[in-house]
Amino acid sequence: MADLLNSGSKWFQSVRAKHCITLVQYLRGSDSDDILATLGRTIFKISEQFGQVRYESRDFIVAVEDFPYSDEPEPGDRVVEGGCAYEVMAPGGEPCWRFGDLYRRSYRIHAKRIGDV
């Protein structure tokens, strides 16, 4: 029997790559690469001394095969999209990225807006 989740994930990745992408600039140190990403968001709820803080990140979903570096996204990398600059990071000790699906075909990169370009 076919693995329907795997087939569905492949199909979704192909649709995302054709219809749900925008060109962004990914920067690491002095290196810069143009990549295609799907825009998203993640809401973190971080417990602090006096309650919970809500933090919303801008997410960039990028196919692993299209990521310009041989290693994974790193805190401090930057993304430029639509005239805005974002720094790759996540709050409260959370990882700055995660895989976007069970089959590890995409990175969901969390970032915070740091200004305009």
Residue range 57-64: mean pLDDT, rounded = 96
Is 92's pLDDT higher than 70? yes
| Predicted pLDDT at 12 | 78
Give the list of residues 6+ apart from residue 107 with CB closer than 8 angstroms, or none.
Answer: 61, 62, 64, 67, 72, 73, 97, 98, 99, 100
- Residue range 69-88, pLDDT digits in tens: 999 999 999 999 999 999 99
Residue range 18-38: mean pLDDT, rounded = 94
Is 106's pLDDT higher than 70? yes
Residues 26 and 116: their CA atoms lie apart, in Å, by 15
Residues 82 and 23: their CA atoms lie apart, in Å, by 9
Residue range 48-53: mean pLDDT, rounded = 87
Report pTM.
0.88
Give the list of residues 6+ apart from residue 94 with CB closer than 8 angstroms, or none.
Answer: 44, 110
- Is 13:63 a contact under the CB 8 Å cutoff? yes
Average pLDDT of the chain is 92
